[in-house]
Amino acid sequence: MKYRHPAIPDDFDDPPGPAGEAEETPEEDLWFLPPGPIDADPDELPPGPRAEPGEGAVLAEWRQAEASLAARLARVAGRFGALDERLRRGPEGWRHRLALMEAADLSWFAGHRVSLDRLSLWVSMRLSGVQEDTGALSQVGWAARRLTGGPGPEAGLAGFLGRHDPDGTDGERIAERAESWSALMAAAADLHPISRACMGFHLWALAGLGPQGDRMEAAVTAARAAAGEGRGAAFAPLAMGGAGGLRAGGAPSERLARWCEGMDSACLAALRHLEGIEAWSARAQTLMAPLSGRTPPMLRAALDEWPLLSAPMAQTLTGASRATVQRNLTWMETHGLIREVTGQERFRMWKAVV
């Protein structure tokens, strides 16, 4: 009896098919292949390098973002217009006051964490504590000066930043990187100054300006650019009351939306602060009218300009003697115009009671 293996068909005696033809095996019998059609297999190869979008594509994205946020942009532009007009009609010291406040808030965003009293002492008298970082104080002081006024970044970015290449620098120089950023900003001249400033802030590092500086330089430059042709305001507040608008991440439309919300909140905080200072100044002028001499009005003007004031600062700003300054500060504190904020016996500082 002939043995037949159950798994191997006994077809050796069958005549072969025509020459050149191979018997086609059904696909379901090919156990060594994964299920499904071959062309449906996922691509297991790692992704290749992504090409960076060109300048035209970048500008198109920001133009589209601005168009989608036209109403929100108009609202924040109106708020900044109100602040600009208030500063145009107010005393010159208000601009300096807001610049100090904005620079101190930006220092926390940039990681320097310089308080307003330390910044005031550094800017007015170059005073710092033994353990304080004078490099951080210098950079925040630079921010306060640039926010107060003077030529903006449009007059030359490298000069505005105060960064210059040493002789013999290899590779691309800071002037060339600054020119690249400025050229991109010029190409976006059709954007609103607020939108263009937002774009410039978020493209700062891509222009090669980030490694040597930090976010403080980018924010100060953007704040000056956002002010456009303001008649009273030298900068647009961005961090006053919170720096959420400076947070990175997301598409241009998301970044611009956060930027508008943050700038709107900062402008509102600045307007409310100036309203309080204006009311305080009128009240101080009325109460201090009976006082004789030139020191009382000069102290009042100094407190208009400086958010915090110490006795040595007041001496430097008014030119009066220490005893005269201390006597007038005590009188103002007694009449509820100012209050001492440090709670110390030495290095005391006062602020207006708004």
pLDDT-derived band of residue 211, with 50, 70 and 90 as boundaries?
A: low
**Domain co-membership, 261 together with 301:** no
**28 within a domain of the structure (yes/no):** no
pLDDT-derived band of residue 229, with 50, 70 and 90 as boundaries?
A: confident
pTM comes to 0.81
pLDDT-derived band of residue 168, with 50, 70 and 90 as boundaries?
A: very low
What pLDDT, on the 0 to 100 scale, is given for residue 173? 78
**Domain co-membership, 296 together with 228:** no
**Domain co-membership, 304 together with 254:** no
Give the pLDDT confidence of 46-89 residue by residue, as tens digits: 554 554 567 889 999 999 999 999 999 999 999 999 999 999 99
In CATH, what number is assigned to the domain containing residue 300?
1.10.10.10
**Domain co-membership, 315 together with 224:** no
Least confident stretch, 37-46, 85-94, 309-318: 37-46
Stated length of the chain: 354
**276 within a domain of the structure (yes/no):** no
pLDDT over 90 (residue 286): yes
**Domain co-membership, 212 together with 105:** yes
**316 within a domain of the structure (yes/no):** yes
Domain boundary among 209, 238, 269: 269
Number of structural domains in the chain: 2
**32 within a domain of the structure (yes/no):** no
Largest CA distance in the chain: 137
Helix axes 116-125, 134-148, angle to 10 degrees: 80
Q: What are the residues whose beta carbons fall under 8 Å from the beta carbon of 300, sequence distance 6 or more?
A: 281, 284, 285, 288
**294 within a domain of the structure (yes/no):** yes
Give the pLDDT confidence of 181-197 residue by residue, as tens digits: 999 999 999 999 999 99
**Domain co-membership, 223 together with 298:** no
What pLDDT, on the 0 to 100 scale, is given for residue 4? 47
pLDDT over 60 (residue 8): no
**Domain co-membership, 132 together with 250:** yes
Higher-confidence residue: 346 or 329? Answer: 329
**21 within a domain of the structure (yes/no):** no
pLDDT over 50 (residue 1): no
**Domain co-membership, 308 together with 244:** no
pLDDT-derived band of residue 171, with 50, 70 and 90 as boundaries?
A: very low
**How far is it, in rounded angstroms, from Cα 180 to Cα 203?**
11
**Domain co-membership, 205 together with 317:** no
Whether the Cβ atoms of residue 148 and residue 141 lie closer than 8 Å to each other? no
**Domain co-membership, 143 together with 229:** yes
Q: What domain range is 78 assigned to?
A: 56-163+173-269
**125 within a domain of the structure (yes/no):** yes
| Alpha-carbon distances of 2 from 5, 10, 12, 148, 175, rounded to whole Å | 10, 10, 14, 107, 95
**Domain co-membership, 69 together with 98:** yes
pLDDT-derived band of residue 12, with 50, 70 and 90 as boundaries?
A: very low
Give the pLDDT confidence of 114-157 residue by residue, as tens digits: 999 999 989 988 776 645 678 889 999 999 999 999 999 998 99
Give the pLDDT confidence of 250-274 residue by residue, as tens digits: 999 999 999 999 999 999 999 999 9
**25 within a domain of the structure (yes/no):** no
**Domain co-membership, 190 together with 157:** yes
